[in-house]
Amino acid sequence: MALSLARTKSDDRIRARDPRTARTELIALATHRSAEVRAAVASRPDCPLGTQLSLVLDDDVRVLEALVSNPAAPASVLAQLASHKREPIRALAAQRLLGVSQPV
């Protein structure tokens, strides 16, 4: 019996959540066919800006919700989400933008 070296979706989801996963691997995982894996990447505070900007274009609501809920998402990403075609995403992003732009 031969062992398979292929990773499963579960393996990739674990890698996407692991804080030791390199940023270069996060970039690759952001293009995974599984929305669960992409959402895990989108939710990471250390998700690279370029990766966040590409995930703004994702069609899966789980990915978009993870991105808009990411406390490290910059105003530029939130502004793009605030004009998204899905109203719930627009509303969440607008709320976050109001919170981001208010002085502390």
State residue 99's pLDDT score: 84
In-domain check, residue 48 = yes
CB atoms within 10 A of CB 17: 14
pLDDT band of 9, cuts 50, 70, 90: confident
- Mean pLDDT of the region 2-30: 84
The answer as to whether 46 is a domain residue is yes
Task: Specify if 40 maps to a domain.
Answer: yes
On whether residue 2 sits in a domain, the answer given is no
Q: Looking at residue 7, what is its pLDDT? A: 74
| Rounded Cα distance, 96 and 102, in Å | 10
Closest by CA to 82, choosing from 69, 71, 70, 96, is 96
Query: For position 101, what pLDDT does the model report?
Result: 52
| Domain of 85, in residue numbers | 9-101
What the block records as the tokens of 51 is 């990766």
36, two tokens: 């669960």
Task: Please tell me the predicted confidence (pLDDT) of residue 2.
Answer: 42
Residue 1 lies in a domain: no
Residue 21 domain-assigned (yes or no): yes
Is 103 a residue whose pLDDT tops 70? no
Burial class (CB in 10 A: 0-12, 13-18, 19+), 34: middle
**Is residue 4 in some structural domain?**
no
**Whether the Cβ atoms of residue 38 and residue 58 lie closer than 8 Å to each other:** yes
pLDDT band at 22 (very low <50, low <70, confident <90, very high): very high
pLDDT tens figures, 49-84: 999 999 999 999 999 999 999 999 999 999 999 999
Phi, psi torsion values for 37, nearest 5 degrees: -70, -45
Tally of structural domains, the chain: 1
